[in-house]
Structure 1
Amino acid sequence: MNNTLVAKERKEFRKSILTQLRKQGYIPAVVYGKHEEGKPIFVKNADLLKNIREIGRNGIISLDINGKKQNVILEDFQANPINHEIIHADFLHINMSTEIHAKVHVALMGTSKGVEDGGVLQQSLHQLNITAKPKEIPETIEIDVSELQIGHTIKVGAIRKNYSNITINHDDDEVIVTVIASKQEDENSTSETQSENIVDNNEEKEA
């Protein structure tokens, strides 16, 4: 069962009206479809956040506009750069049998052996662009990094088989996560090498 989000049509577009809506706890928004003109609406901030917490960023929402419901997803949103509150939202009207594009968060699971050995975990991709039917969009893409050693990487191609029901729109060679040697280890290694060279040079001079 989809979560319901109540919305109202928005007739005013002046900046002062939008500011007033936000002060009253509402978020100006637009709902549109593949072949539909965008319809300005507004929703309660608290209700939208509740939906996101309960069904995730890519969850299916039953948007109720003046009593008429339609399935949508939160396609995009804008946030205040200071307090990070949502100030505008875009909803996409979806057909449950038609594939759509979505961005899915990448969640790294476990502690890598490389990190336990003093390495540093570097995540290059924090979200992946995918194509899938609405009900098949995962809330997150989980990647087990527990066996990842220093100098090793996990690329997109390595996770495709675990998500065969969706299309991951990235090249197989794109790096998702890697473990690198720590800067301190590199500096210590360089220092030791330099010390050894100095000793060798001194021994050659004495000889």
Structure 2
Amino acid sequence: MLRTRLTSRPRTVGRRALLTRIRREGYIPGVVYGHGDPLSIQIPIREVEHLLTHQGSGGLVDLDLEGTIQTALLKEVGRHPATGAIVNLGFQRVALSEIISARVPLTVVGVGHVEENGGVAQIQLDHLDVHCRAGDLPTTLPVDVSQSEIGDAIRIADLALPPGVELAQGVDPGQVVVSITSPAVPRMVEEELEASEAAGTEPPRASD
């Protein structure tokens, strides 16, 4: 399975001022732990943003540590509480044969069919926690709504998991992932209809 490669290099552990300087230079500080001593690193912010946009925040990556490749699971994405900016990252070293728990993003496909038939795909869940060998971890799981109609709901139990991939402990198979609904009636019109029905009068007509 193709994995995103992140260019990284060791960094000096220091005070907050040093971390601030690293971020100003266009890097995100991170820590790699597991299977050995923890290692403090820094990664170009553009590579981190590309990873989060295209892969999400829970997949496997190959860390290129000055020519040495280490496979790791992105476990933590720290963000500034006010701005939402990425401030730090946490990676866990893994062996491809190792059993891991991870969060996989869900990708809804077939929405065009729903919209052509007057429906709206309401996404209730955008990720799934799974348990599998690191080498079997998918980058995303598709949720196909191309055969769904208004009133249908796709639940976790309806998803086709790849071989070797299981739901993580505590995941409810009955949880709704996507529901197909009718377009919402504008609230103002809805209130006017309710008021008219209560008064026994004709609902207001739209002006020409």
Alignment of 1:5 with 2:7, yes or no, is yes
Map residues 37-52 of structure 1 onto 2, 5 A cutoff: 38-49=38-49, 52=51
> What is the CA distance between 1:44 and its match in structure 2?
2.7
| Per-residue CA distance 1:51-87 (angstroms, 9 max, x = gap) | x2898342331341x6654221322212346765422
Distance 1:124 1:48 in 2: 26
> Residue 203 of structure 1 aligns with which residue?
none
Q: Which amino acid aligns with 1:6?
A: S
Alignment of 1:28 with 2:23, yes or no, is no
- Corresponding residue SS for 2:147: coil
- Corresponding residue SS for 1:163: coil
Larger radius of gyration: 1
Which one has the bigger helix percentage? 1
Decide which moves more: 52-61 or 85-94: 52-61
> What is the CA distance between 1:106 and its match in structure 2?
0.9
Cα distance change of structure 1 residues 82 and 54 upon mapping to structure 2, 3 Å threshold: closer
Alignment of 1:17 with 2:32, yes or no, is no
Cα distance change of structure 1 residues 84 and 97 upon mapping to structure 2, 3 Å threshold: same
Decide which moves more: 66-75 or 23-32: 66-75
> Residue 205 of structure 1 aligns with which residue?
none
Whether the aligned pair in 2 keeps the contact of 1:103 and 1:129 (CA below 8 Å) is yes
> Residue 72 of structure 1 aligns with which residue?
72
| Per-residue CA distance 1:87-134 (angstroms, 9 max, x = gap) | 211111001101212111111111265543433321110111112222
Q: Which amino acid aligns with 1:26?
A: Y
In the alignment of these two chains, the number of paired residues is: 193
Whether the aligned pair in 2 keeps the contact of 1:119 and 1:182 (CA below 8 Å) is yes
Q: Which amino acid aligns with 1:20?
A: R
> Residue 174 of structure 2 aligns with which residue?
173
Map residues 12-161 of structure 1 onto 2, 5 A cutoff: 12=14, 14-33=15-34, 36=36, 38-49=38-49, 52=51, 56-57=55-56, 58-64=59-65, 68-80=68-80, 84-111=84-111, 113-159=113-159, 161=160
- Corresponding residue SS for 2:60: coil
| Per-residue CA distance 1:155-179 (angstroms, 9 max, x = gap) | 01111x4434311232210100001
Cα distance change of structure 1 residues 40 and 62 upon mapping to structure 2, 3 Å threshold: closer
Query: TM-score, length-normalised on structure 2?
Result: 0.75
Cα distance change of structure 1 residues 80 and 109 upon mapping to structure 2, 3 Å threshold: same
Map residues 181-200 of structure 1 onto 2, 5 A cutoff: 181-184=182-185, 191=193, 198=200
Decide which moves more: 131-140 or 149-158: 131-140
Q: Which amino acid aligns with 2:178?
A: V
- Corresponding residue SS for 1:88: strand
**Tell me, which stretches of 5 or more residues in structure 1 are unaligned?**
200-207
- Corresponding residue SS for 1:103: strand
Query: TM-score, length-normalised on structure 1?
Result: 0.75
**Tell me, which stretches of 5 or more residues in structure 2 are unaligned?**
202-208
| Per-residue CA distance 1:16-51 (angstroms, 9 max, x = gap) | 111111111121111111x6553322233234446x
- Corresponding residue SS for 1:183: coil
Whether the aligned pair in 1 keeps the contact of 2:30 and 2:88 (CA below 8 Å) is yes
